[in-house]
Amino acid sequence: MTTLTVLGNAAPYPQPDRPCSGYLLQAGGVSVWVEAGPGSLAQLLRHTSLDQVDAVWLSHLHLDHIGDLLNAYYALAYGELPPRAPLPVYAPAGLADRLAGFFAQPDAGFLADVLDLRPLSDGHEVELGGLTLASSAVDHGGPEAYALRASSTGHVLAYSGDCAPCPALDALAVDADLLLCEANDPVANPFHHTPEQAGDLARRSGARQLVITHVGPLLTPEAATTQATQAFDGPTTNADVGITFTF
């Protein structure tokens, strides 16, 4: 069984009762915190503890996807939590410099006892217990960005990260049991999917279920989900904070 719990879905900043992007993926005896947007850590702690998280996976380095990694560092370093090995963090290579800059350090070596930074790359694949995480480079208008395909015992999650429609995402999403796709207003940022494009992706890829997330302030999540159904007639749901999908 694979579960995905929504910890946050707002973009590009947290809103009342809506943290930024964050998801708890659990399968194959493994728990992965996918995206660490501002506010998502508090929601994560409703469901598990940081000493029980096996890894963090970050699609790109925009603040609304990584901000709470700083809070996780403070919690692990100074929060008197149960001892654990350094938490693996799979993210674009530039994360090390971002963190070093925030702490005014020459490099990220000071983090090594707490966070184990592991750079992503196109085609990167890692096995965590009974869960496989595979990353594909996607088009987000310049920043290094990745989509995720997570699979366990034949159950597949495809997650767009933030990106415009692109062939790499089409290939990654094929036959996914659950497609988690961001949907934004095209005027706000052309390097995101519109709701209709998210629906098109679900239809093209043969997804069994579409979940709309990361909806910007020019749309409501409900409106974005409704618009996506114009292109995809399968089950389509908004990623409400706190909901758990089982597939």
- Cα→Cα distances 11→20, 64, 129, 180, 223, Å: 6, 7, 32, 15, 15
Model pLDDT for residues 210-221, shown as the tens digit of each residue: 999 999 998 999
* Stretch (H or E) spanning 76: helix 63-78
The DSSP symbol for 236 reads E
pLDDT at 29: 96
Residue 17 has pLDDT above 90, yes or no: yes
pLDDT at 188: 63
Residue 130 has pLDDT above 80, yes or no: yes
Predicted TM-score of the model (pTM): 0.96
Model pLDDT for residues 30-64, shown as the tens digit of each residue: 999 999 999 999 999 999 999 999 999 999 999 99
Q: For residues 67 and 55, what is the distance between their CA atoms, to the nearest angstrom?
A: 16
Would you place residue 224 in the very low, low, confident or very high pLDDT band (cuts 50, 70, 90)? very high
The DSSP symbol for 111 reads G
pLDDT at 190: 77
Q: Rg for the chain (alpha carbons), in Å? A: 17
Residue 142 has pLDDT above 90, yes or no: no
Model pLDDT for residues 74-85, shown as the tens digit of each residue: 999 999 888 899
- Cα→Cα distances 191→184, 185, 218, Å: 9, 10, 15
- Pair 138, 168: CB distance under 8 Å: yes
Model pLDDT for residues 158-209, shown as the tens digit of each residue: 999 999 999 999 999 999 999 999 998 766 667 899 999 999 999 999 999 9
